[in-house]
Every structure is written in C-alpha cells, then in structure tokens.
Structure 1
Amino acid sequence: MSILDLIRPSIKALKPYSSARDEFKGTTDNMVFLDANENPYENGVNRYPDPQQRTVKDLLSNLKGIPVENILLGNGSDEVLDLIFRAFCEPNIDNIITLPPTYGMYSVLANINAIDIKEVQLSDDFQPHVDKILGIADENSKLLFLCSPNNPTGNSFSQESIERLLKEFNGVVVIDEAYIDFSDIPSWIERLDEFPNLIVTQTLSKAYGMAGIRLGICYASKEIISVLNNIKPPYNVNELTQQRAIEQLKNHELIKSQVQFILKERDNLVNKLKAVSFVSKIYPSDANFILAKVDNATMRYNQLIEKGIVIRNRTTQPGCENCLRFTVGTPEESSILIDALNSIS
C-alpha cells in the first residue's frame, strides 16, 4: 500500500493556497516588492517571512544529514501534530492509537479533530505491548503515536518494538523525539528511507533552549512532507522565530556542551533524590527530567509549592500513581530542590 492511500481524499484533492512569497521564486536582492500589500517602511519585520523557512531548513539539513525536502517546520510541535491529524484522519471515522502514560496533546488533538482514540497502556517497565497494539488496530487506525524518550516516564522504547510496529502497523507511525538530544539512542530520522510510513517529530524547545520561540520540526518522506506543506498556513513560522532559530542552530557546539552539563546534573540529582526519605523509586531517564515515586505525590507537590518550587504531579497518569516529575535545572536549582525535599521529610 502506498502512503498516499492513507491520505484523506479531500486533502489529496486540495488545491493549496499560494502566497505572494510562494509565487515569487527569484532572489530578493535589489528587488522592489509590491506584491503582498505590506507596509513599505523597513523595521525588520514589515515583510512577510519566508513561507518555507529555507535558511532554517538548510541548517537543520546540514546538522542532521537529512535533505531539505524531508523537513517541515511548524509553530511548535503541536502545529506539526495537528497537520498530521488533518492529513491522515477522517473526522468521525478514523482512529489513532496512543500508549499512556504519554504526552497529553495526542488525545487533545484527536478530540479537536473528532478522531476516536484507542489506548494500549505501557507495560510495568513503560514499554509498548506490541501484540496488543497490533491486535487493537483496525482498518481505520491511521496513526500510532510513540513518544520516545517518553514523557512523563523518561525512558526510551526498545528499538526492536518500534521496528516491528513500523513493519506491521498498517498506518503511519509518529515517533515524537522531543527529548532525543538527551539520549544515547540514535534518532529514527536515520532510517526514514527504510520506512515510508514513518514520521519523526523534534523540537527546539528542549535541548536547544528555545521553548519561547515555538518551533517544531517534522522529518518524513518527500511525499508526506509535500502533503503537509499543502495544508499548513502560508506563513506559519514568523520572522522573529526564524531569526532566533538560525542564531541558535549556528551555536551547535554550545548546545552540545549544555546538554552534557544537563546530563551530568541529571546524574547528580538522581543520586541526591535516592537519599530523600520518602522517595521509593527513581525511574531510568533518557530525557532532561526524572520521574520518581513518592509516598504521597499530591501532598509533596503542595509542600514544594509552598516553598516556591514548581514541579509536575503525574499521579493521575496511568502507571504513575504517586509519581512526581522533576525537570533537571541548574546545580543551584537542584540544591534548592533537594534542601526543600529534605526539609519536608
């Protein structure tokens, strides 16, 4: 089956909007632009941004070794995910499969788009039940979401499980790699050519420290990227976001060093959490956060709030009863956290 067979018929038949900057293909040097009804007085942002974010994509292409035509950018990963829903899922007919505990926006976007949700809870060690996933899938199961490293658990899924799902699931497998820069496991973008049904999403919000600019990244086959480009808003990534992304992507060595500092501090924080009297378990993490089981998550969360420390209470998530999620901060922030935890023991 061709991947295009999974695209909604109305999307395949869609004639995409063509913006002024899409239609003009030449160089911008020494050109007088009177095509887009912009204010002509220069202030740095009076012109529409590049609708295809070419400079940002070129930098990502060089860093990741992925051709530009396999890259789509969005206003945060949430826009990228929403575009994937719109491309593949027919409202009130199709369904998706999620593996709780996982990132909550998959279900939110499914509800927004009137798509049914099938859930297969992760195992006790937070790994996918492959047979159950394949068993629950039907002819209308268009998307399978794998968050690896997973949020909120922090662990990566086994490569063998993911590979089997890519080969046997008769829909699109979306691997959310928001935290991949903190993991030693290779990104699945290295295997895009093997799996036409594979979509990998990443972000500049985590390791690259750009949460405030909202830039999400999608890597997939040329065919999928072409479809997503047809349905994205014409100027979905603004000029200021593109400028800041370009600056940060050029600082790749700095980012690598910051990631190493975060990983070192993660190890230090794990060791200190082990000594906290009410922490009973610390789960393995390939991300920039730690999931820990405590005696009473809600009580401990509220106690930390009273001390001016905000963490995440994940006790309501499947398999995460009495679990707290701690983002790895600076060494100074970790010391404040540990002192507070010990003071409420």
Structure 2
Amino acid sequence: MTAANTFNISQLLRPHIAGLKPYSSARDEYSGKEGIFLDANENAFGSVTEQAFNRYPDPYQQELKAKIAELKHCRPEQIFLGNGSDEAIDLLYRAFCEPHLDNVIICPPTYGMYEVSAEINCVEVRRVPLTAEFQLQPQAIMEAVDWHTKMIFVCSPNNPTANNMAPDDIRYLLEHFHGLVVVDEAYIDFTSQPSFVQSLEKYPNLVVLQTFSKAWGLAALRLGMAFASPDIIRVLNKIKPPYNINGVTQQLALVGLSRTDTFREMVNETLQQREMLAATLKSLPQVLHVYPSDANFLLVKVPRPKELYDFLTQNRVIVRDRSKLALCEGCLRITVGTAEENRQLAAAIQQFV
C-alpha cells in the first residue's frame, strides 16, 4: 500500500479549518505593484526612517518564493515561508491536530520544538527513541500509530546527534503512514545526502522543513521554509497571519539568494573546519568520543560534561550541555566555529583537569 493510495488531506485536516474563511488583506484583493494605494490604511506620507517602510509587504512573498523555487528545483506553490521553521511547525499542529484527541510521534533525542509545540496545542506526543546508532525504528514507529496519529517528525540531519537518517526508513514511513511525515532538513546544506524536496511529487503526505538560519547565515532574519504539496501549502497560507514575513526580511533574503558563491564558500569552510575540529578533539585526553557529523556541529562525549560545560562557560566559550538527553549521556554539543574560535575552544578544553 502506498501513500498515494492512503493519504487524503480532507480526512486529516481539522473540520473547522477546512471550512475556515481566511482573513482577506488588502494585498489579497489587489496584488499589483503599481497604482495609488488607498486601500490598506497605510501612511501615505512615508515612514520615520529614510527607507520606505510605510507599505505592507507581499503577504505571500512571491518574488522570494520564485527565487527559492529556482534554487530548490520545485514550484513556488510548493513553498510556505514562515517566521522561522517554528512557525510552520506550529501551523501544522493547528491545522491538522485536534487538541486533547490527536497525537504525533517524535524520535528522541531530537529537536525540542516538536514537543513544545505539541504541548502548546494540547496534542499528545508519542516517543519512539532512536537506536543506539541514532537511527529510526520504522516498524516500532508504525506500531505506535493509531487513527488519531496525525504527524511523524523526522529530523535529518538530526539535532543533537548530527547524523542523517537512513533515507529508506523515511521512505518506509511515507509509504505506510496515513498522515503527514515532516522531514526537518535544517542542516541539509552540510551533507551530501539529497534533500527530500525532490520527492514532493511522489509523496503527497510529505512536508520538508528547511531554514535560512544555518548555512545561509541569516538566523537573525527568522526565515523558515516548508515544502509540501500545493494542497498542504494552501492550508498553511489560509491560517498564517496576513503579513507573517516582514518586508525587510524579504529584501535581505533576496540579497542572500543572489550571493550563492558566498553561500557555497561558507558551507565549504564550515565542512573543512568541522573535520579539523573533530580531529583536534579526538586527540585530546579530555574527550572520550566524537560522533560522526552531517551537520555544522559535533556531538562530543566527555567524562564530566556538566563540569566541563561550566568550565568552558567561565572561560567565555559557550557550548550546549546535552548530557541529560536519552542516548546523549555524557555529551556536549559543539557548533563548528571559525578557525580561531575552534582553536580557543580546544585550548580551553586542554586546560580542564
């Protein structure tokens, strides 16, 4: 049985969302860029800054989506842009999960916002842990599914373990699960594994999340991407705030997309520094193990994680203590920095006794 035979968005969608009449902004009624705009109660005389910010931005970010579609080899109508990927995660809950009735599945250790958003929306979370090798258990996941399971979240490359999930395991879920499979690819640019964006036409129940916060170096803009079928994207557009991506963010993201050479240089430098940092850390007696990474960070096992974390913090080297997470006992998560930042990190660890 394939996803194409079992997935029906009308059965998955919350009934009141299906019948919701969305807010209609002035730019929904007229989307042209030329004319005398007297429809949105904007300030006709300009703004308090030298730049013209008195007009509302494009609510559907059409120019930006066209550029992203070209880069990602998909169609603009398969793209939703959110205030970070977190907005897309929250909207998926609000659209497809009935509070106090439906459930989702996560595979810990993984990105914490899947569970936080579930709690905010009063949705049950079912946990199917990763294996000792940090891989999915697809059969166990399917055993946890019932008719109220609306979404399965898969982070690949995974945070905090930094590894890719086996693509065949993700495809298994897409082909056997009746709900949405949300593949979070926030770190996809740091791995050679193909993106699942290229599988959108094959799997109508697939949602892929990506972000401008990591490889693009635009975390302060808070711009996330969701890729899915046009049917799913229409639902997200229906329930999002009217102008969820501000005009400055749209402008700066377009500038970033025009500088793909700089983007590739930053990614390549990150990958080089990742390998050098991993080799350096492996040579230190204070480090027990450095796990393989497909992301821009390393999961590092040490004998006394809390003490080392506190010591590094006192020396103004800030990492994340992940030692309280299942399967990450004894581990710190260390982002790959510049060559000088990595040198200072290693020097600080060497001073820890």
TM-score, normalized by the shorter chain, greater than 0.5:
yes
- Any runs of at least 4 consecutive aligned residues in structure 1 with deviations exceeding 3 A, and if so which? none
Q: Is the 8 Å Cα contact of residues 286 and 350 (structure 2) preserved in structure 1?
A: no
Q: Deviations over 1:253-290 (max 9, x none)?
A: 21011100000000000000001112111111100000
Q: Deviations over 1:285-339 (max 9, x none)?
A: 1000000110011010001011111000001111000100000010000000000
Distance 1:298 1:203 in 2: 30
Give the match for residue 70 of structure 1. 78
Distance 1:338 1:147 in 2: 29
Q: Deviations over 1:180-231 (max 9, x none)?
A: 0001000000010110000000000000000000001000001000111100
Give the match for residue 326 of structure 2. 318
Give the match for residue 200 of structure 1. 208
Pick from 4, 21, 24 the counterpart of residue 15 of structure 1: 21
Per-residue deviation, 1:42 = 2.3
Pick from 44, 68, 79 the counterpart of residue 40 of structure 1: 44
Distance 2:352 2:304 in 1: 12
Distance 2:257 2:70 in 1: 10
Distance 1:204 1:4 in 2: 31
3-state SS in 2 of match to 1:279: coil
Distance 2:347 2:166 in 1: 36
Distance 1:162 1:62 in 2: 25
Per-residue deviation, 1:7 = 0.6
Moved more, 3-12 or 296-305: 3-12
Give the match for residue 143 of structure 1. 151
The 5 A counterparts of 1:1-345 are 1=6, 2-25=8-31, 27-29=32-34, 31-43=35-47, 44-345=52-353
Per-residue deviation, 1:4 = 2.5
Unaligned residue ranges in structure 1 (runs of 5+): none
CA RMSD of aligned residues (A): 0.8
Per-residue deviation, 1:3 = 2.3
Distance 2:105 2:279 in 1: 36
The aligned amino acid for 2:115 is: S
Q: Is the 8 Å Cα contact of residues 4 and 223 (structure 1) preserved in structure 2?
A: no
3-state SS in 1 of match to 2:288: strand
3-state SS in 2 of match to 1:35: coil
Unaligned residue ranges in structure 2 (runs of 5+): 1-5
Moved more, 42-51 or 138-147: 42-51
- How many residue pairs get aligned? The number is 343
Q: Is the 8 Å Cα contact of residues 271 and 296 (structure 2) preserved in structure 1?
A: yes
TM-score (norm 2): 0.96
Per-residue deviation, 1:22 = 1.1
